[in-house]
Amino acid sequence: MAKANSLSRWLAAAMAALMLLALLPARVWAAESTAYDTDGATAFTFTDIAITAKDGDCTGYNIDGTALTIEAAGTYIVSGSCQSGSITVKKGVTGVTLVLSGLTLTADGTAAIACNKSSGVTIVAQDGTANILSDTETNNDDSYPDNTNAENAVIKCKDGSQVTLCGSGSLTVNANGKNGIKSGATTDEEGEAWLVIRDLTLTISAPVNDAINAEASLTILSGDLTIDAGDDAVHSDYYLTVGAAGTDGPTITVNSCNEGLEAADLSIAGGNITIHAGDDCLNAANSDLTGYAFTLSISGGTLVMDTTSGDGIDSNGDLNVSGGEIYVSGPTSDGDSTLDYDGAATVTGGTIVAAGYSGMAQNFGSDSTQGSTCTVTIGGQSTDVTLERLIYGSGGMGTPPDGNNGSNMGTPPDGGKGGRPGNKSALFLPPK
């Protein structure tokens, strides 16, 4: 009994120390350089009344007032300021590099940049430049059904388009209509669609809906993203990949949102991710898919997350953790939990610290291999502590559970799924 009490005191102190990490600011990864060739590029300067062009080798374009249409492959440099303008890449045009070189562009009732169906576009924020793209509230065909020009996003990438957002400059997206950035679907007619974000310093304000929304595949490899969203911070109907093995990954700071990162297949391999959510912080889900094998996988990165009325980590299928550092605070509602999954949950590596109400708390499954002998130092004292997979408690630290998907866990403080209303639960998984 004395040993159990000692372990309880140690765990409480360890959790208190580790949860302080949630208060630390996220690290900012240095943006990588993005190479592109401007030799022979065609340059455009926007004003409120016109677009002036300085022709280079690329002559495949059309100007209509303050609307620019790119009609052929090539490199195009855009700068200036315009309160009612737009840039469109024509359907089926690939090999386009669009260099933002100090561009402030507001689109009135449509997208500031539209990559039409089956296009191939690289959008680059030029080194040393700040670029701002915005729309107006009428760029929403739900709220304004009579607006036939509405694209429902500041940057709209349509079905079959393959678009990369990158650069060592900065890009700010102000979405007053609906979404910040919207990527289209993969279809038999238009081909495969994807959106890749790398290197870029990207700030998105989308109080109406999603900051980033993809219908097919979204990959965030690197860069520094700051997001405020009315609904999802980052959403993909199918695939969302964050970071890559062997790299630092992106810094993603979500200041406000309903749900944080959401996709049917959500994979996090690296990065420094901070999420403040009203609902789920991480969610593997799509209500439009029936019989889909939803998966949430975390293999690297540092994640610091808190939620007020949702789940910290939620998978409508399997949950797999093989690496990384994960810190979850919340929920504050007893009908939610720090971990929630419908399939199997397995942890084979990494560090997890989670604390919140215990009404629907779940454990990892018996296939988990986490756990080891840890040397714990608190103050000037150190001791070796052996942990069996995890420790779970509610209202006090009791006997560790057997690790079965919540089915054989008794009523807290024995480490069970559920618990007395109003009690808080805690989960700690040490490094392997």
For residue 349, what are the CA distances in angstroms to 352, 379, 409? 9, 27, 22
197-233: burial string, b at 16+ Cβ within 10 Å, e else: bbbbbbbbbbebbbbbbbbbbbbbbbbbbbbbbbbbb
Outline where DSSP puts E strands in 279-372.
Answer: 282-284, 295-298, 302-307, 313-315, 318-321, 325-329, 339-341, 345-347, 351-357
Q: Which residue has the tokens 């605070």?
A: 329
Mean pLDDT by groups of 10 residues along the chain of 432 residues: 41 39 28 62 97 89 97 96 98 97 98 98 97 98 96 98 97 98 97 97 98 98 98 98 95 97 98 96 93 95 92 92 90 67 88 67 58 59 60 37 35 32 43 44
- Count the neighbouring beta carbons within 10 Å of the beta carbon of residue 369: 12
Residues 6+ apart with CB under 8 A from 142: 152, 178
Q: Is 358 left (phi over 0), alpha (psi -120 to 50) or beta?
A: alpha
User: What is the gyration radius of the CA atoms in the chain, in angstroms?
Assistant: 24
Largest CA distance in the chain: 82
Kind plus residue range of the DSSP H or E element containing 19: helix 2-19
Element (H, E) at 214: strand 212-214
Of 272, 278, 204, 264, whose CA–CA distance to 243 is shortest? 272
pLDDT at residue number 2: 42
Amino acid at position 425, single letter:
S
Residue with tokens 């999954």: 341
HSE value, Cβ hemisphere, 13 Å, CA-based, for 83? 2
Please give the DSSP secondary-structure letter assigned to residue 22.
G
Which H or E run contains 8?
Answer: helix 2-19
Tokens of 239: 């695939």
DSSP E strands, 51-200: 51-54, 61-64, 67-70, 74-82, 86-89, 96-107, 113-115, 120-125, 130-135, 153-157, 162-166, 170-174, 179-183, 194-197
pLDDT given for residue 144 in this prediction: 97
The predicted pLDDT at position 354 comes to 77
